[in-house]
Amino acid sequence: MVLKETLKVKWYWVARFICQVFALLFFRYRVYGRRNIPRAGPFIIAGNHQSFLDPVFHGIGSTRRLLFMARDTLFRSRLFGGLIRSTNAIPVSRDKADIGAIKLVLAELKNGHGVCLYPEGTRTADGKIAALKPGFSLLCRRSKAPVVPTLVDGAFECWPRQRKLFTPGPIVVCFGKPLPPERIRQMSNEELADWLTRTLREMQRVCRLRQGKEPYDYRN
């Protein structure tokens, strides 16, 4: 069992290196705010969801190994399902409360690991960050882990959900300042979801302005 886990960890870092090469070949990939990732202990990366490649962009940007939650339909293919499972992805049902997946995530956090979540629940249809669902807030409070708001920008332009294949382009990933568990415990589910929505949208606005891009309009 120890050997199996050791091999799994080593394979994760090999796969991460391969993904780094992939990102360098096809995308002008940049990452900011790595210092905001806790050096030790559990943490939750809560990111916006622009494309199928978001877990790759978040994974190679993180200085620590991550567990990813992926919709269960992605595991129907034995080959692809086995591949993403080997790189720390676990299936989760979007149609119902997946108690088994939640317990596994909490166990990983209890053991001091990092987890990457996409509280929007699905990929954006227009590049904007949707109002986040409060359901993930309960998981955040029970985990007693800091939440790191994390933005990916450019992935929607490179691979929108309406397109079958990606096109090369600039990708930026920004890790924001973590929200400590003490603050999280003081918030309701709705307050935490609202805070994260506003934080990610502001990070997106600043990120796009720095790149000379037009920020998204959230007034409507």
Q: What secondary structure, in 3-state letters, does 41-92 show?
A: CCEEEEECCCCCCHHHHHHHHCCCCEEEEEEHHHHCCHHHHHHHHHCCEEEE
CB contact set of 185 (below 8 Å; sequence gap of 6+): 141
Q: Is residue 183 part of a domain?
A: yes
CATH of the domain at 15: 3.40.1130.10
Confidence at residue 2, expressed as pLDDT on a 0 to 100 scale: 77
Our count of domains for the chain comes to 1
pTM of the model: 0.94
pLDDT, block means (10 residues), the chain with 220 residues: 85 96 95 97 97 96 94 87 90 77 92 95 94 87 95 97 94 98 94 96 97 92
Amino acid, single-letter form, for residue 16: R
The pLDDT of residue 135 is 81
Q: Which domain holds residue 190?
A: 2-210
Question: Residue 92: its pLDDT value, please?
Answer: 85
Predicted pLDDT at 70: 84
- pLDDT (0 to 100) of residue 3: 81
| Eight-state DSSP code of residue 36 | G
122 domain residue, yes or no: yes
9, two tokens: 């960890």
pLDDT value for 26: 96
Helix (H, G, I), strand (E, B) or coil at 116: strand
